[in-house]
Amino acid sequence: MSILYSPAPYHIISYGTLLGSEIFQSFIAGIVAFKALPRAQFATLQSALFPIYFAMQTALPIALMFTFPAESTAIGRTSSSLSGVLEPNHRMNVLVPLAVTSLTGLANAVVIGPATTKCMKDRKHQETRDGKKSYDQGPHSEAMQALNTRFAWLHGASSLVNMIGCVTTVWYGFYLGERMV
C-alpha cells in the first residue's frame, strides 16, 4: 500500500502544523508584533489573525482524530481513525488532549474572541467620547475603567484557554513520541 493512502503522514503533518502554529502565534509572532507595531496596527493584525488561528486550533485536532494511525502490536493491529481514538486505552492520551485542544480553539473562536473584539470596539468608541486613549495614563471615565477591566479579563481568559490548548497539544505530542520508541 502506498504511503499516500496511509493516514500516518497526514496525521504527523497535521500535528506539526497545529503545534507549530500554536508556538509561533503564542510565543513569537504575537510578542514581536506587539513590540514592533503601533497599538492600533497590532490590534488590526491580531483581529485578522486570531479567527484563522482559532479555526486551525479547532479543526486540526479533529483532523488528528480522523487520521489517527493504527499501531502494529505483538497480538495484531489496533484500530485507526476515530475508532482508534475512542478505544479505552487511547482515551486519556489521545481523545482527552485532542478534544480539549479543539474545544479551547472553539471557545476562543466562538465566545471569547468575538467578545474581546467587541470590547475593543467599545473601548475605541469610548476613547472618542472621552477624548483619551484607553491605555493613556489615568484617570479614566467610569465607562472606560469598566471596559478596560472587561478587556483585561477577556484577554486573560483567552490567553489562559490558549495556553491550555498548547499544553494539551504538547501532551498529545509526548504520546506520539512514545509510540515511535
Instruction: Report pLDDT digits (tens) over 115-124.
Output: 999 999 999 9
Tell me the sheet residues that pair with 73: 76
pLDDT at 70: 79
- The pLDDT tens digits of the residues spanning 48-80 come to 999 999 999 999 999 999 999 877 777 767 777
- The pLDDT tens digits of the residues spanning 77-115 come to 777 788 888 999 899 999 999 999 999 999 999 999 999
Give the 3-state secondary structure of residue 66. helix
* Closest of 105, 71, 104 to residue 85, by C-alpha: 71
Arithmetic mean of pLDDT, 120-145: 94
- The pLDDT tens digits of the residues spanning 32-45 come to 999 999 999 999 99
pLDDT at 2: 81
Q: What is the pTM of this model?
A: 0.91
